Each structure stands twice: as C-alpha cells, then as structure tokens.
Amino acid sequence: MKKSILFSFVLAAASFTASAQQFTVVKDNAHGNVENQCKTGTCWSFATTSFIESEIIRKGNKAVDLSEMYNVRLTYPKKAESFVRFQGKQQFGPGGLSHDVLSIIEEYGIVPEEAYSGFVNGATTYDHETLDLKLTDLVNDAVKSPTNGYQESVTGILDNEIGRVPAEFKYNGTSYTPASFRDAMKINPKEYVCLTSFTHHPFHSSFVLEVPDNWSKKSYYNLPLDEFQRVADFALSKGYTVAWDADVSEKTFDARKGLAFVDNFQNEPKVTQETRQTAFDSFETTDDHLMHITGTAKDEKGNSYYLVKNSWGTEGLPNGGLLYVSAPYFRYKTVCMIVHKDAIPKEIAAKLGM
C-alpha cells in the first residue's frame, strides 16, 4: 500500500547498519518515502517518478507525491501499438525505462497521487497479473489478425484495471490539467539526459541501447566508465539525484540486508571497462530493475557507496527500504542512468556537444 509521503533532506554523519557493516551517510538529497510497486513490473515508473519528485523539490517547489500509475496507464497503449506495428517482433509487457516516463511527461504532463492512484474497485495494493495477461493476449491476437479495433480494447482494459486518467483535477485548491501541473512544478523533460557506458559503440556519441525494455528505441549518450561514474558523483555532490537502471540478479544484491556489492565487500575487485563490457556481452549483466540514487555513503573502512531508494516497500527490510550499493557494483552492473543536464561536468558535456 502506498503511504503518506515524507521527505528527507541532507543528512550529515548519520549512521546505519546493513549486514555487519556500519555506514555513514555523506550526502542524501531530498526524496520521498520508499514506495511499493507490489505485484507489478513497473519499477521504471516508480524510480523515475521518485527522481522527478526530487527534481520538483530541487527546483524550489513544495514536495508532492506524484502518481506512478499515470505514467503506466499512458505508456501501455504506446507499447501495444509498437508491438503490433513491429508484427510482434519485440518485447511486450510491463517493463520500460526512465525515458518512457519523460516521454509521457512531455506529451501529457504529470499528476499528483491523490488525483490518480491507479487503484480500482477498492484495491489498496497493486497487482497487474490479470492486466498483463489480458493485454498480452490482445496484442498477440492483433498481430495474428491485424485490425485497427484493438486500440479501443486496450483502452477499455486499462480503464477497467487501472482507471481513467483525469483531464483536470484540483490540488491544494487550484485547478490543473496534467500539462499545467507539469509546468507549475517547473519540470521540462528536455532538461534530462540519458547516459550509458559500453565499448561496442563509440564514446561521446549516442546509440540505441540494446536491452529488451527499450521498446521505444531511444538513444543514450555513451561515456567511458570513469567519466560515467564521475557524472553520478558530481550530480549527487551538487544536490541532484540519479534515475538508475541496473542488474539486480546477482546474489550479492540483497535487499533483505540493504546491501549490494560485487564480491567480498571488505575487499572488492577493481571493475574495468573491459570486465563491465564482458558481463554485458555475455548477458551476465541484464536490464533488471530501476531505482533512484539519492546520495552517497562511506563504510567504516572508508569505501564508497551509493544510497539507493528502491520500490519494494519497507516491511521486513533494513534502513526503511533503502540500499547501500558499493561503487564497484555501480561500475559493474549499471545499465544506464538519467541525470539533469546541469548535473554533468562542463568538460564532459562539451565532449557530448551539449
């Protein structure tokens, strides 16, 4: 169940425990409470919505709890059309990437949670198993027997399972459309940049990232690994946060312990561009899960970690559902990330022609 949102700000010398380690938070930028995506594959919307909530605060607005399901509801028809037009030769399902949220924000806008919860028929938790099965059957049938009528059926299923999106709503006594609310919150999707780091394409250029959830075929700027990590570190140090896509299938990613590391967290191996690429090429590194990096931390030996907000709720989890992700794990298992353009060091931005 979604809970009332609270916001944390910069913490100094705050200590937490994950497994047997002690952590001191160096920087924790403003963000909302850990949410729960429940039985859905919508981490991409939860992570990126959380990222946008932090951006709203950073831009000087009051904190607001945004609707994750608004993005999900408006993205599904686009995924369905793409799947059918590609004659079923691509992935269809609940997954997506951060740029999908930015595309919805640009085209439609954003809405607060209170205006669109995504709950129907008295539900208080999310379960999209039936929704995903119905939509998958529908688009597969549309590929077998092409017809323009399937779009109306997609809309009907989504309205029944998630709810109709509002054309207008009131928030704190003021009437908005999704577009006017986006503008009031000072969110401009064109200000955000998609980044990755792989050697099978030239550095300081862009390419369509080859992961199944990139159904919309969006491009990412490609940076050498050291520059890629430097962007994340610079952004977090300057009060920005990071929308993060990573492989979480490793045994050393353990939400129950609130910790992720590569191997032997007290003496981790050096991660190079080559070892990272080998893991991606062999499908050891896969596009699994999106989260929200809000800050940095150190362990008792001075090793660097990222403070990560997940979307698996808080029940039975340490640190209120937050994770400590080691710097080597970030270098090894990150697939891609999104940051504000001003969060990129100027000399790196210049190499990208920005």
Dist CA 301 CA 75 (whole Å): 44
124 burial (CB, 10 Å; 0-12 / 13-18 / 19+) is: exposed
Evaluate the CA torsion angle 89, 206, 270, 293 in order and state its sign: negative
Q: How many residues does the chain have?
A: 354
Q: What domains can you pick out in the chain, each with its CATH number?
A: 14-351 (3.90.70.10)
Cα 87 to chain centroid, rounded: 28
Condensed to tens digits (0 to 9), the pLDDT of residues 312-353 reads 999 999 999 999 999 999 999 999 999 999 999 999 999 999
How many Cβ atoms are within 10 Å of 242's Cβ, its own excluded?
29
pLDDT at position 271 is 94
Question: Which residue in the block uniquely carries the two structure tokens 């129950």?
Answer: 256
Q: Which amino acid is at 62?
A: K
Dist CA 314 CA 321 (whole Å): 5
> At residue 269, does pLDDT exceed 90?
no
Query: Which of 95-99, 186-190, 260-264, 290-294 bottoms out in mean pLDDT, i.e. has the lowest?
Result: 260-264
What are the structure tokens assigned to 98, written together? Answer: 């951060």
> At residue 13, does pLDDT exceed 60?
no
3-class DSSP state of 248: coil
What are the structure tokens assigned to 97, written together? Answer: 């990437």
Q: Which amino acid is at 15?
A: S
pLDDT at position 9 is 31
Average pLDDT value over all residues in the chain: 92
Q: Provide, for the chain, the percentages of residues in helix, strand and coil under a 3-state DSSP scheme, each rounded to the nearest 5.
A: 35, 20, 40
Dist CA 29 CA 74 (whole Å): 29
pLDDT at position 146 is 83
Q: How large is the average pLDDT for residues 269-280? A: 95
Beta strands in 281-346 (DSSP E): 289-299, 304-309, 322-326, 334-340
What are the structure tokens assigned to 242, written together? Answer: 């990071």
pLDDT at position 4 is 33
Residue 220 backbone dihedrals phi, psi, to 5 degrees: -125, 140
Dist CA 282 CA 180 (whole Å): 45
pLDDT at position 6 is 36
pLDDT at position 10 is 33
Helices (H) and strands (E) in the chain, counts: 10, 14
Dist CA 101 CA 290 (whole Å): 12
pLDDT band for 147, please (50, 70, 90 cuts): confident
Q: How large is the average pLDDT for residues 202-211? A: 98
